[in-house]
Copies of this chain bind each other. A is one copy, B any other.
Amino acid sequence: MMSTADTNSVPERKRGSGVKMVYDLLRDEILDLVLPPGSPIDEVQLAERFKMSRTPIREALVRLAGEGLIDTLPNRSTMVSNIDFLNMHTYFDALVLMYRVTTRLAAEHHRLEDLQVIHAHQADFAKAVEAQDALAMIATNAALHSAIAEAGRNPYFTGLFNRLLNEGRRLLRLYYQSYDDRLPQRFVDEHEDMIKVIAARDVEAADRLAKEHAEQIVDQIQKLFKRGGHLSIAL
């Protein structure tokens, strides 16, 4: 009865925290491509891994399915959902529009305290670029734009936009991975300009810069696809 010595590390989780833990972790692993599209999700395996029953695992999976991050074959299996490369332009159309609308609204409705938050995120992004840390760039870039959206004070748009950023996070990850050092510096400057016009409450300029910023990103990614032909990801 001694091998239980290490098993003593029973997590001792609190009551409602199990699902959130599983949800957050799976979500991150999916969005960071640790679990590439098509990876099978096994409930029992997860249950063992987290030392809990299948019930909370299941709840986390239902949530992930609700966000389209996993696909569930009835009675059969569940797996990480595919990245839809074919309809990718539709995603970018949506992303560009949301970039524009959130930035525009931020110029209209931001308050002073918002600018501080935005500046902080921008600093984080610049730091990530300088450190050439692709993963950090993704996270801080998303955080920055999310903060801008928050400043626009429209919960429907922010919810929408965050959802879109998440759905695209896997794509963006590919992008940042390929151009992992040189180009992002341009983003820092573009962000700087956007923040300036937001602070100046110049709505039209904000709209224009956001559009250019977004379309530049889209261009780069599409160039990437043309060059690479296809990507080193299991579909």
Contacts and interface: CB of A to CB of B under 8 A. Distances in A.
Interface of A: 15-16, 55, 58-59, 62-63, 66-67, 74-75, 87, 90-91, 93-94, 97, 101, 153-157, 160, 163-164, 167
A15 to B, nearest CB: 7
> Mostly helix, strand, loop or mixed at chain A's interface?
helix
Contacts of A90: 153-157
Contact of A55 (B55, B94, B155): B55
Contacts of A157: 90, 93-94
Contact of A94 (B15, B59, B160): B160
19 contacts: A15-B75, A58-B59, A59-B59, A59-B62, A62-B62, A62-B66, A66-B67, A87-B154, A87-B155, A90-B153, A90-B154, A90-B156, A90-B157, A91-B156, A93-B154, A93-B156, A94-B157, A94-B160, A160-B160
Contacts of A59: 58-59, 62
Contacts of A15: 75
A155 B154 CA distance: 22
A33 to B, nearest CB: 20
